[in-house]
Amino acid sequence: MVAEAETAGAKVLQRKIIHVDMDAFFASVEQRDDPSLRGKPVAVGGSRERGVVATASYEARAFGVRSAMPSITAKRLCPNLIFVKPRFDVYREASRQIREIFADYTAIIEPPSLDEAYLDVTENLKGMPYASGIASEIRRRIFEATGLTASAGVSYNKFLAKMASDINKPNGMFVITPEMGPTFVEKLPVAKFHGIGPKTAERMHGFGILTGLDLRAQSLEFLRENFGKVGTYYYGICRGVDEREVNPNRIRKSVGVENTFSYDLTTREEMERELAPIIEEVWDHCERLGERGKTATLKVKFDTFRQVTRSKSTTGTIESKDALKQTVASLLDGLLPLENGVRLLGVTVSGFKTGDEPQMSFDL
Ligand code: TTP
Ligand code: MG
């Protein structure tokens, strides 16, 4: 678009977008506050049999420990792994501090989670000419204020800024200029694209689409037909194009996860078993966002394709995973006995304390 406008002789403002992302966020906070953990492999999360790793220190990552990995697997990979319980209040406070720093540079800040944010600094409050200069200054100030390191990506759109922030992680930054953008995505495996999850990547592999260049060979029609609305986004990003604005009002109002089953569930036990990982995922997501909701919703689709939803609100907010489990269990009670087999189950938490803005779409 920019190139077109330039050929037409018009002067178009190239956007300057920064994506800032804290390094091993929860684990770094724990290492900061407990010097005995520094330089050691640390996992934040549950050490119990059914626990999962929320995040791991870079020392633990050297052993292959990763986010969302079952704690037992992590311990097997790294026998000296130290498990630490998460302290969300402390993470929220660090998050508040970094957002305060961002606000000195621009009002156009979109934080998709506690530890990251997109900033549009095209016209920044300090009149600084280079986005890379702003990113360096922000990273330095974050370290001074919190004792934590952050990485940054600088580019002309959100997708590339996000991809760039990973390149020199931890404690680094990278700039993708407009000249570099299209080439940068060519060689990139589709599984690495932000917004292409593992399931979508697998489907793309099935079509023989392995890299950005392969993706670019597909028509917009093909992508929309096979991937729906998000196909348009794919069509753009494989060309280094992403027109999404940094949206400071984009406050997520709910977190929902659902699963369709390859067989019909008929008993309460089966439903509870299938709901457990769904609840885990919903709760994990709430924690990463630093949000607590007041309403839980259970969605059930029957083999007849009839769908019902049941919601329950608490007076305060749902404060623990167990509380969420209990609420969902009581919603399930209300649907029993089952008249038909169940094809799909979904759980949503909504009514976040901060969520007073209109509902926005899921983050890509
Ligand atoms: P990330 O930014 O994805 O990870 P990170 O900051 O730990 O590490 P990196 O240096 O690669 O950026 O997520 C931020 C925090 O969100 C992370 O510290 C813990 C939490 N989180 C989870 O609880 N579960 C997850 O599956 C992931 C990916 C993150
Ligand atoms: Mg991070």
From start to end of the chain, where are the E strands?
17-22, 42-45, 53-56, 82-84, 109-113, 116-120, 150-155, 173-175, 254-265, 295-302, 307-313, 342-350
- Tell me how far the alpha carbon of residue 105 is from its chain's centroid: 24
Bond from prior residue into 198 cis (ω within 30 degrees of 0):
no
116 is catalytic: yes
State in Å: Cα 48 to ligand 2 middle. 24
Residues in contact with ligand 1 (CB, 6 Å cut-off): 21-26, 54-55, 67-68, 115-116, 169-170, 284, 287-288
Q: Residues 6 or more apart from 295 whose CB is under 8 A from it?
A: 311, 312, 313, 314, 349, 350, 351
Residue nearest to atom 5 of ligand 1 (CA): 24
pLDDT one digit per residue (tens) for the chain, 364 residues = 444 445 455 556 799 999 999 999 999 999 999 999 999 999 998 777 668 899 999 999 999 999 989 999 999 999 999 999 999 899 999 999 999 999 999 999 999 989 999 999 999 999 999 999 999 999 999 999 999 999 999 999 999 999 999 999 999 999 999 999 999 999 999 999 998 988 889 999 999 999 999 999 999 999 999 988 899 999 999 999 999 999 997 767 889 998 888 889 999 999 999 999 999 989 988 888 888 899 999 999 998 888 999 999 988 899 889 999 999 999 999 998 888 899 999 999 999 875 433 333 333 3
- Pocket probe for ligand 1: among 25, 142, 174, the residue whose CB has the most ligand atoms within 8 Å is 25
CA distance linking residue 167 with residue 91, whole number of Å: 24
175, two tokens:
């700039």
Of these residues, 30, 110, 116, 281, which one is catalytic? 116
- Tell me how far the alpha carbon of residue 305 is from its chain's centroid: 31
Helix (H, G, I), strand (E, B) or coil at 217: coil
State in Å: Cα 307 to ligand 2 middle. 37
State in Å: Cα 21 to ligand 2 middle. 5
Residue 185 sits at the vertex; the CA angle it makes with 180 and 187, to the nearest 5 degrees, is 110
Task: Give bridge partners of residue 151 from the DSSP assignment.
Answer: 21
- Nearest-Å Rg of the Cα atoms of the chain is 22
CA distance linking residue 49 with residue 321, whole number of Å: 16
State in Å: Cα 288 to ligand 1 middle. 8
- The predicted model scores a pTM of 0.80
Nearest bound ligand to the CA of residue 169: 1
328 contacts 298 by C-beta, under 8 angstroms? yes
State in Å: Cα 325 to ligand 2 middle. 28
- Cα–Cα distance list, 92 to 95, 96, 292 (Å): 5, 6, 12
- Pocket probe for ligand 1: among 67, 87, 166, 168, the residue whose CB has the most ligand atoms within 8 Å is 67
- Tell me how far the alpha carbon of residue 147 is from its chain's centroid: 24
260 contacts 336 by C-beta, under 8 angstroms? no
Nearest bound ligand to the CA of residue 57: 1
Strands 53-56 and 82-84, by their bridges, are unpaired
Q: What is the structure's pLDDT at 11?
A: 56
Q: What is the structure's pLDDT at 63?
A: 98
Neighbours of 170 (CB within 10 A): 15
Helix (H, G, I), strand (E, B) or coil at 114: coil
Question: What is the DSSP secondary structure assignment for residue 265, as one 8-state letter?
Answer: E
Residue nearest to atom 21 of ligand 1 (CA): 54
Query: 100 φ, ψ to 5°?
Result: -65, -40
Count the residues in the chain.
364
